[in-house]
Amino acid sequence: MSLQQRWIQVRGHQLYLEVSETESSPLFVLLHHGLGSVRSWRSQINFLSEKGFAFWAYDRWGYGKSSDRLSLDPPFFEEDVQDLEILLSDVKVPILMVGHSDGGNIALTYASRYPDNLLGLIVVAAHIYFEPKMAEGIEQLLTSYRENDAFRKGLQSAHEGKPVFERWYEAWTKQGTEWDLRQIFHQITCPVMVVQGSEDEHATVQHAVDCAASLVNGHLRIIEGSNHMLPQQASNVFNQILIESLKDFQKVVKHVQ
């Protein structure tokens, strides 16, 4: 299956999308991590294409080939959620939303506003509250960015020179320690598969346990030996989780009907 490249004007800025040509149901919507882009989903795009599933993957505002922006607004990412609401406003088929890290936060916030639009969520390494390991992981990335030329140049290439790392680092380090995404979880009625690697550099396993336990219909998968970049590091395992979760979510819908 081939894919289409699109640029869509949303709220005064352009977003770059890669979209499958099929219009099958459901539609997988892929939301990349805090330093990522469409490139981050390459394994999943290839896998979903081979299986004949419909998908949308896009560079969020300020990332990749999309328009630049001045700042980010974690942990709820209100600006990104508004973009997503407009992008999906005309979609008529069930949506299975997949969010990695910051993308997971966006998926959770979107689901709290528009629960009826979703077949389900798969959130990977989302950040639902502050814990010391998160701060440690951010500082480790800062060290890598300063000292690892390949890492720094790779980010600059992926984002066409945009100061993505600086913007991301500033946004998260000014958040403080009092925020908690769980305050919106009671509004999320669709099933949610919470996935995390046991060796995640930014969160403890308990973080994922708490996330799943706090959701109305939360489920948990801990992948032993995997780190924060699980969809890329363990793509074969993660791709199977996509299909298994889809089947489970469809069973839930049939049971409710």
| Band of residue 253 on the pLDDT scale cut at 50, 70, 90 | low
Position 235, amino acid? S
53-81: average pLDDT: 97
Pairing mode, strands 118-124 and 218-223: unpaired
- Supply 209's token pair: 């346990």
How far is the CA of 63 from the CAs of 53, 109, 229, in angstroms?
25, 20, 18
Residue 256 has pLDDT above 60, yes or no: no
| Band of residue 112 on the pLDDT scale cut at 50, 70, 90 | very high
104 with 132: CB under 8 angstroms?
no
95-109: average pLDDT: 98
Q: According to the model, what pLDDT value does residue 255 have? A: 47
Residue 67 has pLDDT above 50, yes or no: yes
| Band of residue 241 on the pLDDT scale cut at 50, 70, 90 | very high
Number of other residues whose CB lies within 10 A of the CB of residue 6: 13
Domains and CATH numbers, the chain: 3-256 (3.40.50.1820)
| Band of residue 94 on the pLDDT scale cut at 50, 70, 90 | very high
| Band of residue 110 on the pLDDT scale cut at 50, 70, 90 | very high
pTM: 0.96
196-222 pLDDT tens trace: 999 999 999 999 999 999 999 999 999
Closest by Cα among 102, 106, 126, 105 to 36: 102
226-241: average pLDDT: 97
Average pLDDT for the chain: 94
Tell me the β-bridge partners of 220.
194
- In angstroms, the CA 26 to CA 97 distance is 10
Report the b/e string of 192-226 with b at 16+ CB within 10 A.
bbbbbbeebbbbeeebbebbbebbeebbbbebeeb
161-191 pLDDT tens trace: 999 999 999 999 999 999 999 999 999 999 9
Torsions phi, psi for 99 (to 5 deg): -125, 130
Closest by Cα among 74, 35, 60, 68 to 174: 74
